Structure 1
Amino acid sequence: MKFFAPTLLLNLALSLLNGYAGPTPTPPIKKMAGIEKTVFGQFPDGREADLFTLRNAAGMTVKITNYGGYIVSMTAPDKSGTYEDIILGMPTFADYLKGTPSLGPIIGRFGNRIGGAKFTLDGKEYVLTPNSRGNQLHGGRVGFDKKLWNATPVDGNEPTLKLTYTSADGEEGYPGNLSVEVAYTLQRDNSLRITYLATTDKPTVLNLTNHAYFNLSGMKRDVLGYALMIKANSFLPTDASQIPTGAIEPVKGTPFDFTKPTVVGTRINDTTNVQIKYGSGFDHCWVLDGPANKLRLGATVHDPESGRLMTMYTTEPGVQVYTANHLNGLKGKEGVAYTKRFGICLETQHFPDSPNKPNFPSTVLRPGETYRSITVYNFSTK
């Protein structure tokens, strides 16, 4: 025969009277917002690269290394509230040292392409390091993505990682000693804000961006089912080597019309379009509506299966949309194969080859001026 303490009997009786709903669930413990630093890896010469984890109170995390400013991972919730990684990246620091197809780094000095790997500024020709069919792509052979940046973590409810680097006069062919600061801020509203600042001691050209590949499915599917909207009524056609011709053409009536949310897969395989052939898909710059230098809506990407919605805002005049046309099965994090169309890049920037196209917005930076650019990627669901 079992005996019960009086208090247990009383509690049992009250439970029966009131309807027992089981034990009170323990609320999930949310980690505090902030930033923490760990060692990411070591260079052959003994220098260390660090990994910084930014976390907000909602539970979103972003991991960034001071080697190249790579966004190594980023989590965002799906429509059921499940947080998953949505950034293509490599498993180890050693993998980043081997080189990647620009999986999330800071790009500089000049994002995208400069035709013939040269330009003329104030009557003087500057010859750059060519690294793409005789052109320069993403700053040259040893661009900002291959530099170890100085890092300053700033703790708080909206943690920030400030990265600084000084690019020497003549680096990759560019004039001027250039001082650069890139700040990544994880905001309360599940936005990653990237702020770029730079100054120079000689006239130079500058076009900074980030080259993150987003996969809103949490690495389950390619991007062909995404609904893409680009707030742009025109784009920049290119030649066969993907250098802009200098023309600015309307998107209306072409596969480049994403003025309304449109499924990527319905447009990307239009092989009757010569521009699609040149890029092996989308690898073009759209001319964003509205005034540059003002933070404004640039694009949205929606994955209907996960419900994740990415909304991009920028002060830049253009966005290069790249649909991972040349990924070939590279093994990324968790052993996932990064195949063609497995990510989408929204590279906010000035126009490619601007130093050689007088009709494009200027990318010239002079002593006494400060380069400023802001891009925000916000994550929500619908």
Structure 2
Amino acid sequence: MSAPNNSYDPVEVTPLSPDEVARMRDEALAAVAAAADLDQLKAARLAHAGDRSPLALANREIGALPPAARAEAGKRVGGARRDIGEALKRRQAELEEERDARVLVEEAVDVTLPTRRSTPGGRHPVTTVAERMADIFVAMGFDVAEGPEVEAEWFNFDALNFLPDHPARTMQDTFFVESPSGGDSRTVLRTHTSPVQVRALVERELPVYVVAPGTTYRTDELDATHTPVFHQLEGLVVDEGITMGHLRGAIDAFVDGMFGSGLRTRFRPSYFPFTEPSAEVDMECFVCRGASVGDPANPCRTCSSEGWIELGGCGIVNPRVLTAAGVDTDRYSGWAFGLGVERSLMFAHGVADMHDMVEGDVRFTAAFGMEI
């Protein structure tokens, strides 16, 4: 093992020269002072005070000096590293103080302001759409009629010309209400709002011009397009000289008011026990207006590129229904229609899934306005 070189001049070890140590110290102090945030200060600490920093590497050269020169070199390097450490502490305190002051301003919370612990409720869009539909007919001179949701079987079926063996009377379509004694109570949860027609004819003086919005019940499974509890808007006109043309005009006026002007409508032959003749009502698609038919490059999701949207059923009131309500069929005639409220909501606002309407999620309701 070789002995130390007692004649080695420390000045010749460049990193330990006074000028070089002073330069490294000044460079480190400048980097510390220039650090604008804690991340930059961390980078400056690693570069000028870390194990691989210039002064740390110079400090390792002291062992190669003669014993007489080590003290002076160690004092010089140690003083420079001490100055850098103190500068780092001062700058760290300054930057932390600036950060805390900034956080107090940017993340301030005024605890004196009142807060809402829960989202405010609002009217359901089904309700507002049903009222809007009814308002269109009220503007045409109709009255709004109401009836019970737990209805006598006579009003729900018999008076509307449903024969005793009609499929709609079975448990597959109808909720029957059990009597307290366990027998047949002859009452049901109404399957449509048409019983209000009969009640209006029985209770009101002729002529009758009414619309009846309300809740109805059927034993359907809840899916994207069906629900066991849904809403209808029923319309009834009974007067002298009423024709299918009057019905067509009322439907056109409703479509104009609900979906926009200029949309065509059409009637397709159908069958309902309480109307004869009967028809299904279609309106022209209000999105593509029929332009997507036969054009696979521009499909329409609203009407499935068919050009038409089904609205509901209608027809001339069956004379048997008028007779059941005590109306003179030789003098009076009338028409009736039934429109789905949920269907109108889905068409008007692009609602794709019936689950959204019944699950009570306030985020769905909020999209239509939190109207109280």
Normalising by structure 2, report the TM-score.
0.27
When you count strand as a share of all residues, which structure comes out higher?
Answer: 1
Larger Rg: 2
